[in-house]
Amino acid sequence: MRRTTRQFEPSSVVPDLKFFGPGHRRLAPHIYTDQEVCDLLEEAGRLTPQGGLRPATYQTLFGVIAATGLRISEALHLRDADVDLQEARLTVRQTKFNKSRCLPIHSSVVQALSQYRARRNHVTSCLAGMTFFVSAEGQALSLRGVENVFARLRERLGWKPRGDHPQPRIHDLRHAFAVRRVLQWHQAGVTMDHGMFWLCTYLGHAKISDTYWYLTGVPELMAVVGEKFERFAQGDVCHE
């Protein structure tokens, strides 16, 4: 580029590529289909020992991340007291960017968490301050341990990545949640700007631009962008 420019305009000054600092490119995530999420939960339920707490723990953990868009660190740090099933909400405390937030959850999530809590309390004692998701010994789960289990499940399922990462990741469940939510709003005719503001708050993003990135960074939502631009070009801006 620089050489071509100088060939035709010798007096051209082309800034060095490093002049503006390092660039930042987001890698496209793997957006899970509904069937892939179901397959993951089913495979997690087959973990050993069958009938024990371990398969229930991973099945519920991955299910909650898929249904709420929690970061894996947020799900692992949830305390038992943060899961209020009477009010159908989760309290996510002092996570990324030192923010806390309260998340309403669907009745199906309430039911899954209630069943897990009952099984967990049958196996291990519920102590003050304990994490919600625990091992059979009542210990908090480690991130490395969870990622190892996920890698084994992924291998069994034989998934092929559809994003820029070498393999589908746990974090992609969060991305898939966001994409599904935006698509559902779009199909229901929800005003997109209002929806994106709500989603930004729910996901705990520091900047709303991080939420709007989904519209241009994920192929599944490019149709939404195209339709939005078409309305803009036709002068129908007020309805967006």
Distance CA 163, CA 228 (A): 24
Q: What is the pTM of this model?
A: 0.84
Catalytic status, residue 171: yes
Q: Which pLDDT score is estimated for 53? A: 97
d(CA 187, CA 215): 14
Q: What is the pLDDT of residues 85-114, one digit of tens each?
A: 999 999 999 776 677 899 999 999 999 999
**99 noted as active-site residue:** no
DSSP-based three-state secondary structure for 224: helix
Q: Which of 96, 156, 194, 207 is catalytic?
A: 96
Q: pLDDT confidence of 31, banded at 50, 70, 90?
A: very high
Q: Side by side, which strands form the sheet with 83-84?
A: 83-84, 89-92, 101-104
- Residues with Cβ within 8 Å of 150's Cβ and at least 6 positions away in sequence, in order, are 62, 170
* 202 assigned to active site: no
Task: Indicate whether 215 pLDDT > 70.
Answer: yes
Segment holding 173, helix H or strand E: helix 171-188
* Domains contained in the chain, CATH given: 34-157 (1.10.443.10), 171-239 (no CATH)
| Of 4 and 139, more confident | 139
DSSP letters for 132-156 = SSB-TTSPBPPHHHHHHHHHHHHHH
User: 117 an active-site residue?
Assistant: no
